Structure 1
């Protein structure tokens, strides 16, 4: 994968190396996850699509390196939650996976076995020279984008409980409309749903055609814990789980 080395501010180090390495000495230091995200500048202006592609490539290949897949999954879920400004959920995911943060960031962290994990800066925040693929003008002053033909297909969504579902959708449908469909199908209040694709929070007015989603790709739906029916037990420890680790899916799902 090509590197994306840029300039960094606010004391953030270049964490472009990926994978994990054995490091038994964490020193017992574990700080809360910081709300601040790193500010960095790419060596070349990146579009939103290029940033998504770099992130997808990293998350698809990271588990192949040393380290535990469940920890990589937790780190991915935490980074998505953090970028969606849900700091409490990100912290709960980190705590639930027993991940130690020596510096209070996901850039460098350790699991309970002492394995070291490093996340590249582009997985933690977009560059300051990101090129928006959509106009920044007020939508009310711009003509409506052409609506895709109403050709229905089965959209696959993955709940934070790990359950995969399919909804009848068309590229012209809005996320708000699909939330209502999911509410009718699974009795999950639309206000308790947050939809993400490629690490980006989707607003109710976003149409599927705006996400550039393709057939067999998956949208993840994080359900507010208040909407869940009672506590669930962790399959590995049997302890009451306070949150669910989500596998953020932005690549074709395996059937």
Structure 2
């Protein structure tokens, strides 16, 4: 943890005689708060969100160390004001809490009881290698997916009927568009198709690039049996097959009457 608190500042007694014009002779050297913020580099590139989380973690746990909570709160308020370029407010907070700054920085300071407070550098300034987080409307996010659509490939599709086929597709195509292509090719209504990849149901608005499908991967298509039952099967086929053995026996005896019986 970057914020440790010492119970006593070494050399405090030796410097008490010097006094200070800023702290009303409270004792100890006290410099005005410097406007310049420290420059430092993180061990790894840090995003703004990671920096906020790191700071929040410190301020949440800092009062658990030795020291007074009201001083920790004052230091946090002063650090926030200083980062917002409000130097006068930060100085007023420090003075109001009777905080002594031997070096003119919040990195090391003391309260009027002699307790030492140390703030980590990441609470005082962002690192020089801070990564800006992109917003959703960042134009730099748009062009990349627009390049892929122009490259077409043969998409492998496996129907629940056991049929394998290929569709001409691009990574920008939506599942709804591919359903219509399958309907035109195999006469299977788009509403009776359910597309799955990696065990997930693909909605009509899903694009192939969102599924991260690669070459030679197969998309499963479950076809509703109702889409095949009507057009594929003839209504007379079940009646002509099953009764054939029984209709053969009376046929010789009723040759003359057969036309009249069928018409009836």
Normalising by the residue count of structure 2, what TM-score does the alignment of the two structures yield? Answer: 0.43
2:136 aligned counterpart, secondary structure: coil
Task: Encode CA deviations 1:183-238: one digit per residue, 9 max, x unaligned.
Answer: 99999999999999999999999999999999999999999999999999999999
Runs (5+) with no aligned partner, structure 2: none
Say whether the 8 Å CA contact 1:220–1:248 is kept in structure 2: no
Say whether the 8 Å CA contact 2:3–2:120 is kept in structure 1: no
Alpha-carbon RMSD across the aligned residues, in angstroms, is: 30.2
Say whether the 8 Å CA contact 2:7–2:114 is kept in structure 1: no
Task: Encode CA deviations 1:26-64: one digit per residue, 9 max, x unaligned.
Answer: 961000000000000001000001000100000000000
More displaced 10-residue stretch of structure 1: 180-189 or 92-101: 180-189
2:185 aligned counterpart, secondary structure: helix
Give the aligned partner of residue 263 of structure 2: 254
Q: Name which one, 1 or 2, has greater alpha-carbon Rg.
A: 2
More displaced 10-residue stretch of structure 1: 84-93 or 1-10: 1-10
Relative distance call for 1:43 and 1:153 in structure 2 (3 A) is farther
Structure 1 residue 153: deviation in Å?
A: 48
Relative distance call for 1:227 and 1:165 in structure 2 (3 A) is same
Task: Encode CA deviations 1:126-149: one digit per residue, 9 max, x unaligned.
Answer: 000000003699989999999999
1:3 aligned counterpart, secondary structure: coil
Relative distance call for 1:177 and 1:195 in structure 2 (3 A) is same
Relative distance call for 1:210 and 1:95 in structure 2 (3 A) is farther
Give the aligned partner of residue 129 of structure 1: 129
2:171 aligned counterpart, secondary structure: coil
Relative distance call for 1:170 and 1:66 in structure 2 (3 A) is farther
Task: Encode CA deviations 1:142-178: one digit per residue, 9 max, x unaligned.
Answer: 9999999999999999999999999999999999999
Greater relative contact order, per chain length (Cα 8 Å cut-off, separation 6+): 1
Runs (5+) with no aligned partner, structure 1: none
Q: Distance in 1 between matches of 2:104 and 2:252?
A: 19
Relative distance call for 1:49 and 1:98 in structure 2 (3 A) is same
Say whether the 8 Å CA contact 1:5–1:16 is kept in structure 2: no
More displaced 10-residue stretch of structure 1: 162-171 or 14-23: 162-171
Relative distance call for 1:229 and 1:59 in structure 2 (3 A) is farther
Which runs of at least 4 in structure 1 moved beyond 4 Å after TM superposition? 1-27, 135-255
Higher strand content, 1 or 2: 1
| Equivalent of 1:245 in 252, 256, 261 | 252
Say whether the 8 Å CA contact 1:195–1:219 is kept in structure 2: yes
Higher helix content, 1 or 2: 2
Aligned residues: 255
Relative distance call for 1:44 and 1:80 in structure 2 (3 A) is same
Q: Distance in 2 between matches of 1:148 and 1:6?
A: 60
Q: Distance in 1 between matches of 2:169 and 2:80?
A: 24
Say whether the 8 Å CA contact 1:48–1:132 is kept in structure 2: yes
